[in-house]
Amino acid sequence: MSPAPDPAAMEERNPGAAIEIAGLRKSFGEKIVLNGVNLGVRPGESLVIIGGSGTGKSVLLKCILGLLQPDSGTIMIDGIDMTEAPGGDRADVRRRTGMLFQGGALFDSLNVWRNVTFALTQGRARKGRSMRSLAVELLAKVGLDESVADLRPAEISGGMQKRVALARAIASRPDLVFFDEPTTGLDPIRANTINDLIRGLVTDLGCSAITITHDMESARRIADRVAMLHEGRIIWQGPVEMLDDSGNARVDKFINGRTD
């Protein structure tokens, strides 16, 4: 189990992780969701995946995390193929990852601070005092004060739940983080706090990050590179600076919200 992070050590840089996805396919019955996805993330890089609703962005993330088994293709994380790796190797990779789910996915039966430190305690009541103070520090990073630490997830707003989930995702100091719609349901100020936090994880701490979002302002603030998923394939990818000059009609239409 990971030791409790030392707050000073929180500022140390992570090595980041490299991801290489090749020929990834996933269908549900007759419906083809991913149809040969090829994508790469370099260590310490922030990749934002954009695309319309129902284009398979969350499915792609779940395949990378090993929550769904793809039909074919490979997902290499630092040289380990997550589609075929034995349980121990997968666990080693998961030890280095953090994930923010779209709806937060906080555990209803645990209070906020136990949720935040779950990656370190695996739900067991141990080192209560130090874990609580660590949780309070992490909550401060996402703009929440100590008063929410002892509340249950059902007692706080949806936006606060999202921020608690973000604190949980980074509690174990992962070097590879996944964010599924991190700013959905947040007001613009809170959304920018989260964007800055994600950017800081990459720029200051050296984490690799994959973010799914519909929020183009968020994408521009978070991304080093942007990829667009459409009909199960990556139809464009490039540096965020090129997003407005992608030369791809579908990307232009999407980022400008045109309905024509």
Partner 1 sequence: MTDSFTRLFAPIGAAALSFFAAIGRAAIFAGRALLAAVRPPYYPARFVQQLLSIGYFSLPVVGLTALFTGAALAQQIYVGGERFNAASTVPAVTVIAIVRELAPVLGGLMVAGRVSSAMAAELGTMRVTEQIDALVTLRTDPFQFLVAPRLLAAIVVLPILTLVANAIGVMGGYLLAVYRLGFNAASYLETTRDYLEVTDIVSSLVKAAVFGFVLALMGCYHGYHTSGGAAGVGRATTNAVVSAFLLILLANLVITVLVFG
User: Which positions touch partner 1 (CB under 8 A)?
Assistant: 62, 65-67, 91, 94-95, 97-99, 101-103, 105-108, 118-119, 122-125, 168
What the block records as the tokens of 202 is: 């990459």
Residue 17 CA, distance from chain mean position: 13
Strands (E), 174-221: 176-180, 208-212
Residue 13 vs 126, nearer CB to partner 1: 126
Residue 28 vs 203, nearer CB to partner 1: 28
Residue 136 vs 171, nearer CB to partner 1: 171
- Report yes or no: 47 and 18 within 8 Å, Cβ to Cβ: no
Handedness of CA 230, 233, 239, 242 (dihedral sign): negative
Angstrom CA distances, 142 to 10, 28, 95, 222, stand at 15, 36, 22, 16
Taking the complex as a whole, the smallest distance from the CB of residue 31 to partner 1 amounts, in Å, to 14
Residue 65 vs 144, nearer CB to partner 1: 65
Taking the complex as a whole, the smallest distance from the CB of residue 248 to partner 1 amounts, in Å, to 32
Strand partners, 49: 212, 227
Residue among 114, 104, 30, 101 at smallest CA distance from 67: 101
Taking the complex as a whole, the smallest distance from the CB of residue 62 to partner 1 amounts, in Å, to 7
Residue 14 vs 246, nearer CB to partner 1: 14
The radius of gyration of the chain's CA atoms, rounded to the nearest angstrom, is 18
Taking the complex as a whole, the smallest distance from the CB of residue 168 to partner 1 amounts, in Å, to 8
Taking the complex as a whole, the smallest distance from the CB of residue 255 to partner 1 amounts, in Å, to 28
Beta strands 225-230 and 233-239: pairing type?
Answer: antiparallel
